[in-house]
Amino acid sequence: MPLDRLCRLVIVTGLIGALAVATGCERKPPVAHPDTVVLKIDSTSGATHTPVAGSGWSDAAGPVLLVQGETRDEAIILLPDDRDSAATGTRVRALGDQGASVSLYGRGGATLTGQLGAAPAAPDPECRLWPLRGVHGEGNANTWAVGFVGAQTSALPLDSVDVLSSRDSTALVAEASRLASMVTAITDPSFQGLRFTAHDIRRFEVSPGVQAIVAHLVRKVNQEANPQEEQTLLIAERDSGVTSGPYHLVYAERVHGLEEQSTMPEVIAGVRIAGRPTLVVARDSDAGVAYAMLERVGPRRWRIRWTSGMTRCG
């Protein structure tokens, strides 16, 4: 699996303690309450690209989503719609025979290129792995997170809070916690009043002059017989041209339940598809990993564009 996902429990070191945010730091599908709130999401995207019927997949993203496997020369193939797996598989095999070019993106904005290799001899329907050839990038770009074939894509760099000064990092952790406290999704009363632990915070620019953050925060109830965990993923934006002050919460989702049954969300990459900012999220559980694309459809408006089937790779 990608190095970024293997390190999915990245804690914002040194910053949480400075703020006194509680320290704290996958498993069967979450049977606990999957409460999700989506804020300011417009159901009509006005997209210029055509979705695959029934799946939400955009033709501008090409035939499949690639996710790095154990090495950068191996890709996990995720189909737009598992109901059309035979036709898509045939198309991908043909592209592999032709050595089709692939565009590969890292979470920090690194861009690599390569080619699809020939189809594997014995494909596994629960883990579709595909070889890549000639993968290379500029500078220190050695790994990637997501990739596309014949797509209208470009990199959307997600900058870690770790690159900021201590003062700015502490302020951003505080801001993420403030935003998480504003999420109105129903949760267990035992979480009320508990502080948030920031597992990951990323800054990015959704359009010229418009700053945004995506943050993953956790709260835990450490009961020995019944440990509970709450996961919050949120996106927030500033107004155009504003470079300081609070962010506005524009999208949030929250799940809670038994710790051993929780599903861990991780933003593994950002990419622009037909110019539209999109975040790729991995949802890791004991049942496997499902991937989702969160798409910005307008100022302060985000939605879930597409969700993959479950893969048992890794």
Amino acid 190: pLDDT: 85
Q: What is the pLDDT of residues 142-184, one digit of tens each?
A: 899 999 999 999 999 999 998 888 999 999 999 999 999 999 9
Residue 52 lies in a domain: no
Amino acid 105: pLDDT: 97
Domain CATH code at residue 133: 2.40.10
Residue 288 lies in a domain: yes
Residue located via tokens 């979705």: 51
Task: Please indicate, yes or no, whether residues 214 and 183 belong to a single structural domain of this protein.
Answer: yes
> Taking residues 257-273, what's their average pLDDT?
91
**Which domain covers residue 166, as residue numbers?**
9-45+158-307
> Taking residues 21-40, what's their average pLDDT?
38
Amino acid 2: pLDDT: 46
> Taking residues 250-267, what's their average pLDDT?
90
Is it the case that residue 4 has pLDDT exceeding 80?
no
Residues 6+ apart with CB under 8 A from 231: 216, 217, 218, 254, 255, 256, 262, 263, 264, 265
Q: Of the candidates 245, 311, 313, 307, which has an alpha carbon nearest to the alpha carbon of residue 81?
A: 307
Task: Please indicate, yes or no, whether residues 210 and 66 belong to a single structural domain of this protein.
Answer: no
Task: Please indicate, yes or no, whether residues 298 and 168 belong to a single structural domain of this protein.
Answer: yes
Residue 276 lies in a domain: yes
Which one of 151, 182, 198 terminates a domain? Answer: 151
Residues 6+ apart with CB under 8 A from 206: 212, 237, 277, 296
Which burial class, exposed, middle or buried, applies to 232 when counting CB atoms under 10 A from its CB (0-12, 13-18, 19+)?
buried
Residue 198 lies in a domain: yes
Residue 39 lies in a domain: yes
Amino acid 54: pLDDT: 60
Task: Please indicate, yes or no, whether residues 138 and 86 belong to a single structural domain of this protein.
Answer: yes
Task: Please indicate, yes or no, whether residues 119 and 212 belong to a single structural domain of this protein.
Answer: no
How many domains, in total, are found in the chain?
Answer: 2
Which one of 151, 181, 197 terminates a domain? Answer: 151
Task: Please indicate, yes or no, whether residues 209 and 301 belong to a single structural domain of this protein.
Answer: yes
> Taking residues 62-88, what's their average pLDDT?
92
Task: Please indicate, yes or no, whether residues 162 and 303 belong to a single structural domain of this protein.
Answer: yes
Is it the case that residue 196 has pLDDT exceeding 90?
yes
Task: Please indicate, yes or no, whether residues 126 and 164 belong to a single structural domain of this protein.
Answer: no
Amino acid 13: pLDDT: 37
Residue 230 lies in a domain: yes
Task: Please indicate, yes or no, whether residues 40 and 166 belong to a single structural domain of this protein.
Answer: yes
The separation between CA 221 and the C-alpha centre of its own chain, rounded to angstroms, equals 25
Cβ of 8: how many Cβ atoms within 10 Å? Answer: 18
Residue 50 lies in a domain: no
Can you state the percent helix, strand and coil of the chain, rounding each to 5? 20, 40, 45
Residue 53 — φ and ψ, nearest 5°?
-55, 125
Amino acid 133: pLDDT: 96
Q: Give the tokens for residue 171.
A: 């302020």
Task: Please indicate, yes or no, whether residues 40 and 175 belong to a single structural domain of this protein.
Answer: yes
Task: Please indicate, yes or no, whether residues 229 and 85 belong to a single structural domain of this protein.
Answer: no
Q: What single letter denotes the amino acid at residue 299? A: P
Task: Please indicate, yes or no, whether residues 216 and 268 belong to a single structural domain of this protein.
Answer: yes
Residue 295 lies in a domain: yes
Q: Of the candidates 149, 175, 154, which has an alpha carbon nearest to the alpha carbon of residue 244?
A: 175
Q: What is the pLDDT of residues 92-130, one digit of tens each?
A: 999 999 999 999 999 999 999 999 999 988 778 788 999
